[in-house]
């Protein structure tokens, strides 16, 4: 009787042991979910403001005969000192995204196993392969000034009057240098001659003695150009140069409002906010009232374990942006600003592997929740 019981026990073990081995092998092949204790670090994105600026340099060069302008031509208040000033002609506002150093978190447990990150370390999804293209992070700060292109004009050589004259018997025929006053008088004479020739040319045209219309136009244009060039010897000339700049500004939720975005210097054009040689250009943010409060109120959870997984998302804010200089508005825009919103923990129920959650890479807001 005992031998029969012993035989039954042996047969039972032979049946159970292989099945247990097969089950263990199956678990090893399929993998067993374990709890991650170290966690996965990630960041939420923040919104940066990129200002695209076009500025024009206005450079004035006084004429060498400026002091004689009123005496010889009756032109009053001719400038005698050089000057440079920069004027902002256009400002455009765009946004970009980058990891927020004030919103770096660590996901634990199921959250760490299921989390997927973007190339910049920001959260991209939970139990999801988010294929949405990441916003380009713009790293430029300023497009450098291009060197001036010389147009070949120089006051030093703009004259048909010789700089020296041949001497005579009174100075033993030694060359004598022509004075500035003499050269100014000669330039004034040429201006008056150009004006008189324009009058004579117009009179011939009226009398019908200048049949070739094209030749008349060319001759008149050349006389006007000559007059203009010689006048610059007295009133000076102004040249213009356009430059493009790009300034990045990262608004903070607690920053002073308005703040200095950049400065503009008469010598160097657009310079960083830290360069006190320039006058400030201000940027101001007016958030949509009540939006953050409504987000915060509805994001509260009754679950005592809310946030224990360490997975968070953003509910971004919205703001009106204004860029101004010396009380004049240069540009305005209405943009979504991630850091002006509210950060909330992802519900723990969405981290059990039964749901797929995707995030907007630019703001960290939830894009979709899909039950698998």
pLDDT in tens, 250-275: 998 777 789 999 999 988 899 999 99
Distances (CA, A) of 115 to 56, 154, 231, 235: 49, 68, 74, 71
Q: Are 251 and 340 in contact (CB under 8 A)?
A: yes
Report d(CA 133, CA 125) in Å as an integer: 13
14 pLDDT above the threshold of 70:
no
Q: Are 334 and 321 in contact (CB under 8 A)?
A: yes
60: preceding bond cis by omega (within 30 degrees): no
48-62, 288-302, 308-322, 325-339: least confident range: 288-302
Report d(CA 110, CA 29) in Å as an integer: 20
Q: Are 235 and 80 in contact (CB under 8 A)?
A: no
The whole-number average pLDDT for the span 208-236 is 80
| Upper half-sphere CA count for residue 342 (Cβ side, 13 Å) | 14
Please name the residue ranges forming H helices in the chain. 2-30, 69-73, 109-114, 180-206, 213-235, 291-299
Short-list 292, 256, 337, 316, CA closest to 49: 337
Q: Are 335 and 323 in contact (CB under 8 A)?
A: no
**Helix, strand or coil, per DSSP, at residue 10:** helix
pTM recorded for the entire structure: 0.72
**Helix, strand or coil, per DSSP, at residue 190:** helix
Number of neighbouring beta carbons within 10 Å of residue 171: 9
| pLDDT tens-digit series, residues 157-191 | 555 566 666 666 666 666 667 788 888 888 889 99
| pLDDT tens-digit series, residues 332-346 | 999 999 999 999 999
Report d(CA 266, CA 59) in Å as an integer: 10
Question: Given this model, what pLDDT does residue 229 score?
Answer: 87
Contact partners, residue 30, CB within 8 Å, separation at least 6: none
Contact partners, residue 105, CB within 8 Å, separation at least 6: 41, 42, 43, 44, 310, 311, 312
| pLDDT tens-digit series, residues 135-151 | 554 444 444 455 555 55
């Amino acid at each position: 009787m005992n031998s029969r019981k012993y035989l039954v026990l042996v047969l039972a073990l032979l049946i159970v042991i292989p099945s247990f081995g097969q089950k263990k092998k199956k678990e090893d092949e399929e993998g067993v979910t374990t709890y991650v204790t170290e966690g996965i670090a990630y960041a939420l994105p923040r919104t940066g403001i990129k200002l695209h600026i076009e500025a024009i340099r206005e450079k004035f060069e006084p004429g060498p005969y400026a002091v004689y302008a009123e005496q010889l031509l009756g032109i009053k208040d001719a400038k005698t000192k050089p000057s440079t000033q920069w004027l902002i002609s256009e400002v455009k506002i765009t946004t970009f995204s980058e990891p927020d150093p004030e919103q770096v978190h660590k996901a634990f447990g199921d959250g760490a196993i299921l989390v997927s990150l973007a190339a910049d370390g920001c959260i991209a999804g939970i139990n999801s392969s988010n294929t949405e293209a990441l916003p380009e992070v713009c790293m430029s700060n300023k497009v450098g000034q291009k060197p001036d292109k010389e147009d070949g004009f120089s006051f030093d050589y703009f004259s048909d009057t010789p700089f020296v004259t041949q001497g005579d018997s009174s100075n033993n025929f030694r060359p004598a240098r022509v004075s500035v006053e003499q050269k100014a008088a000669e330039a004034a004479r040429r201006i008056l001659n150009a004006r008189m020739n324009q009058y004579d040319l117009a009179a011939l045209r009226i009398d019908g003695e200048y049949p070739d219309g094209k030749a008349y136009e060319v001759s008149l244009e050349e006389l006007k150009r000559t007059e203009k060039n010689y006048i610059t010897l007295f009133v000076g000339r102004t040249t213009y140069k356009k430059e493009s700049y790009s300034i990045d500004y990262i608004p903070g939720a607690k920053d002073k409002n308005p703040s200095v975005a950049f400065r503009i210097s008469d010598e160097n054009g657009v310079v960083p906010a830290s360069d006190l040689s320039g006058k400030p250009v201000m940027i101001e943010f007016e958030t949509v009232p009540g939006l953050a409060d409504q987000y915060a109120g509805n994001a509260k959870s009754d679950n005592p374990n809310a946030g224990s997984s360490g997975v968070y998302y953003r509910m971004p804010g919205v703001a009106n942006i204004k860029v101004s200089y010396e009380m004049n508005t240069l540009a305005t825009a209405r943009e979504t600003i991630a850091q002006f919103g509210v950060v909330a923990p992802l519900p723990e129920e969405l981290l059990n592997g039964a749901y797929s959650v995707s995030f907007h890479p630019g703001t960290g807001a939830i894009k979709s929740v899909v039950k698998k």
